[in-house]
Amino acid sequence: MTVAFIALGSNLGDARGQVLSAFDALDALPQTCLLDRSPLYLTPPWGVLDQPAFINAVARIDTLLSPHDLLDALLGIERAAGRVRDGERWGPRTLDLDVLHMEGVALSDDRLTLPHPRIAERAFVLLPLSELAPDLLLQGQGKVADLLAATDTKGCERLP
């Protein structure tokens, strides 16, 4: 089994419900077990600013799936939640799932880069990730707690 961290986000429809349902969908993946989930965060949009705020979280899973099989499974969960990938980046979405890190895996190809190359730029990822793994060392980026300390978290709110 390999420990992996998955980012979850939504800002359309019942965003909170979409993220909570996605935790269950992750736990239901074959050869995969949900180990832990972060609290939810309300965060301002990133990239495209003219859109609703997001609900974001991170899941820690244990999986036997390969990185690409895991990516394909996440894309299936997104489609089941009504996500349509139309080529627009950073826009509104019913559900967004990203593989952030897989223990012992460094990978970069046309479909997937691990660890995720933009973790250090994103408070909406670092805040929930730091709740689960503040001491996680991301190859080429640094320790999660240190990355978070250097990131602007203005407008981000931990939800009850």
Give yes or no for residue 32 having a pLDDT over 90: yes
CATH number at residue 46: 3.30.70.560
Q: Pick the catalytic residue: 24, 37, 60, 83?
A: 83
Respond yes or no: is residue 118 known to be catalytic: no
Find where tokens 């895991």 sit. Answer: 70
Host domain of residue 43: 2-158
Q: Pick the catalytic residue: 37, 60, 96, 122?
A: 96
Respond yes or no: is residue 36 known to be catalytic: no
Q: Pick the catalytic residue: 79, 93, 118, 135?
A: 93
What single string gives the DSSP state of each residue in 61-128?
EEE-S-HHHHHHHHHHHHHHTT----S--S---S-EEEEEEETT--EESSS-EES-TTGGG-HHHHHH
Instruction: Kindly indicate the confidence band of residue 47, based on its pLDDT and cuts at 50, 70 and 90.
Output: confident
Count of structural domains within the chain: 1
Respond yes or no: is residue 98 known to be catalytic: yes
Respond yes or no: is residue 83 known to be catalytic: yes
pLDDT at residue number 130: 98
Q: Which two tokens stand for residue 68?
A: 């690409």
Bond prior to 128 in cis (omega within 30° of 0) = no
Q: Pick the catalytic residue: 72, 86, 89, 98?
A: 98
- pLDDT tens digit string along 56-108? 999 999 999 999 999 999 999 999 998 887 666 767 889 999 999 999 999 99
pLDDT at residue number 50: 87
